Amino acid sequence: MNHLKIASAAVLMLLFSQAKSQKTTFEKLDQPVKCKNIRDGKFLRANYPQGIFYMTIKDNIQTEYFNNGKDYIKSTLVFVDDCNYKAIVLEKTEKNDPVQVGDVFNNKIVETQDNLLKIQSKVENNQFQIIYVKVKK
């Protein structure tokens, strides 16, 4: 029963995050898409405070931080081409998170505008979109 509650909470969180991130609109898209923006830097989720989520990418290592940076998911990035990459989960701290070590997320950068990146992500049979905001230095 506890696993069912956790799974339900994860699904609700995913749906909430998708609905919330969809509020950010891209008005003047970059042409061509600036896919290399994902290769390095600090990223926030659109419409999320940094304490809930932020992500860093450096040397093909992506680390997603949650819970004011107390928990994380670390993945290695394998670029298929400039706009397509796989994120393979290496380690995580939160045991109840549905993401597991070894999970492979297939990601495609579908749109960019200045410091916004819209990513289409697929893991197993689940597909969703995420909008990241790259923090300008």
Indicate the domain borders of the chain.
Answer: 2-134
All residues at 6 or more sequence positions from 125 whose CB lies less than 8 Å from its CB, including other chains: none
CATH of 2-134 given 1.20.144, 2.40.128, 1.20.1630, 3.40.1090: 2.40.128
What average pLDDT does the chain have? 84
DSSP 92-129: ES-TTSS--TT-EEEEEEEEEETTEEEEEEEETTEEEE
Nearest Cα residue to 85 out of 108, 57, 119, 116: 108
Confidence of residue 24 (pLDDT cuts 50, 70, 90): low
Q: How far is CA 58 from the centre of its chain?
A: 15
Assess whether pLDDT exceeds 80 at residue 89.
yes
pTM across the whole model:
0.79
pLDDT more than 90, % of the chain: 64
Could you tell me which residue, 114 or 3, shows the higher pLDDT?
A: 114
